[in-house]
Amino acid sequence: MFGWTAAEAVGKVASSLIRTVSAIPLEKVLEGLGSSGHWEGELVRTRKDHTEVIVASRWSLQRNARGEPVATLETNNDITLRKRAEEERERLRQLEADLARVNRVSMMGELAASLAHEVKQPMAAAAMNASACMEWLHREAPDIAHADRAAFATVDALKRAIDIINRVNALYKRSPPVRELVDVNEIIREMTFLLRETAHRSSIAIRTVLDADLPISKVDPIELQQVLLNLMLNGIEAMRDNGGELVVVSEKLPRGQLMISVIDSGVGLPSGGHERVFDAFFTTKPNGTGMGLCICQRIVEAHGGRLMAIPNQGRGATFQFTLPVEEGAVVKAVT
């Protein structure tokens, strides 16, 4: 394993010959060995040609007839290739995560005007209510009841603005996926809220048809938001020239799944192999990156679901994706 012949190695101290590096101090290893009689862990060692080898090492204490420790039997398995493969998978996972985040930032750029409008509304309401509160308080006989109501309305408006900012901030964050029990209908409502002004500017209406008894699903809410934003923005883009209606449908399927459908009446899917829309770098948009739908597909599949593109009978296209449900849990939604 280390490239030394017996003649070269006999008589030399092994740890010096192969330059053992351990994440745990040797004193701790020996302490564990002495108390339990064995130790297991990963070590980095050096071959004769000066290349490193990662080993899964197992040590067991050997005792004589009187029970006194006399030696250590050490067994090493070369796991260098496995560790390198794990590191490469982690590197690729991180690259995918970075691409997904870039995609989210790109989408938020498209939504900038809409978000400014949505934040402006509660901020204007807060300013108006704060002004009213001051007016009620500065009267000769302050009207505490009216001022109190205006103050509460101010706080409520500011909370709405903060909520919008927090949603946007979450999409920008670079953080590892965190799965939790999520009301998918609520995510759909949030994305509808964020996209309402963007759609309105192109004479597009957004309508939702949500299953009130939709079970909750264990997903990463930020990644689910990203999938919905991508699909809904694509639908809006497809109808931008002629207007129309974007319909988002949620429904429960048999065999422990739910399905979300995003339906537009736009230009439709490219003719001849519409499944190509999920290929990396394939795009029909003049300024598209061709990564949005590819990232969406990977996110959905990582959650145990499937993303499909279906041409409509008339105009437009339907994008559907499935998600597993959390059995026994139901969130009553207000449609």
Residue with tokens 């590191």: 87
> How many domains are there within the chain?
3
The answer to whether residue 106 is domain-embedded is no
> Do both 324 and 204 map to the same domain?
yes
Residue with tokens 């204490």: 61
Spatial distance between the Cα atoms of 239 and 258, rounded to a whole number of angstroms: 27
Q: Of 78, 101, 127, which residue constitutes the final position of a domain?
A: 78
Spatial distance between the Cα atoms of 141 and 253, rounded to a whole number of angstroms: 62
Spatial distance between the Cα atoms of 252 and 233, rounded to a whole number of angstroms: 24
pLDDT, tens digit, 9 for 90 and up, residues 177-206: 678 898 999 989 988 887 887 788 888 999
> Do both 122 and 196 map to the same domain?
no
> Do both 216 and 333 map to the same domain?
yes
Angle at 96 between CA 90 and CA 97, to 5 degrees: 90
The answer to whether residue 312 is domain-embedded is yes
> Do both 152 and 208 map to the same domain?
no
The answer to whether residue 185 is domain-embedded is yes
CATH number for the domain including 219? 3.30.565.10
> Do both 159 and 192 map to the same domain?
no
Q: Of 36, 63, 78, which residue constitutes the final position of a domain?
A: 78
> Do both 183 and 157 map to the same domain?
no
- pLDDT tens for the chain, 335 residues long, are 888 899 988 998 887 788 888 878 888 888 888 888 888 888 899 898 889 999 999 989 888 888 888 888 989 999 988 888 888 887 777 766 666 666 666 666 656 655 665 676 678 778 878 888 888 888 888 889 888 888 888 888 787 777 767 766 665 665 566 788 989 999 899 888 878 877 888 889 999 999 998 988 888 887 888 788 888 888 888 888 888 899 999 999 888 889 999 999 888 777 665 566 666 544 555 454 455 777 788 888 888 898 988 888 878 889 899 998 876 554 444 43
> Do both 184 and 141 map to the same domain?
no
Sign of CA dihedral 307, 293, 181, 335: negative
**What 8-state DSSP symbol labels residue 270?**
P
> Do both 187 and 250 map to the same domain?
yes
pLDDT, tens digit, 9 for 90 and up, residues 257-308: 899 999 998 887 776 655 666 665 445 554 544 557 777 888 888 888 989 8
> Do both 204 and 284 map to the same domain?
yes
Q: Collapsing DSSP states into helix, strand and coil, what is residue 308?
A: strand
> Do both 58 and 131 map to the same domain?
no
The answer to whether residue 1 is domain-embedded is no
pLDDT at 333: 43
Question: The whole model's pTM is what?
Answer: 0.52
**Helices 221-238, 184-201: crossing angle, 10 deg rounding:** 30
Spatial distance between the Cα atoms of 111 and 281, rounded to a whole number of angstroms: 22
Q: Is 44 exposed, middle or buried (0-12, 13-18, 19+ CB in 10 A)?
A: middle
> Do both 205 and 312 map to the same domain?
yes
CATH number for the domain including 30? 3.30.450.20
The answer to whether residue 213 is domain-embedded is yes
Q: How many CB atoms lie within 10 A of CB 10?
A: 8
**Hey, what are 298's tokens?**
């990977």
**Hey, what are 134's tokens?**
């001051």
> Do both 149 and 201 map to the same domain?
no
Spatial distance between the Cα atoms of 251 and 110, rounded to a whole number of angstroms: 29
Spatial distance between the Cα atoms of 279 and 38, rounded to a whole number of angstroms: 51
The answer to whether residue 87 is domain-embedded is no
Residue with tokens 């499937």: 306
The residue segments making up the domain with residue 155 are 111-176
Long-range contacts of 118-126 (CB under 8 A, 24+ apart): 118/164, 118/193, 118/194, 118/196, 118/197, 119/161, 119/164, 119/165, 122/157, 122/158, 122/160, 122/161, 122/164, 123/157, 123/158, 123/161, 125/153, 125/157, 126/154, 126/157, 126/158, 126/161
The answer to whether residue 98 is domain-embedded is no
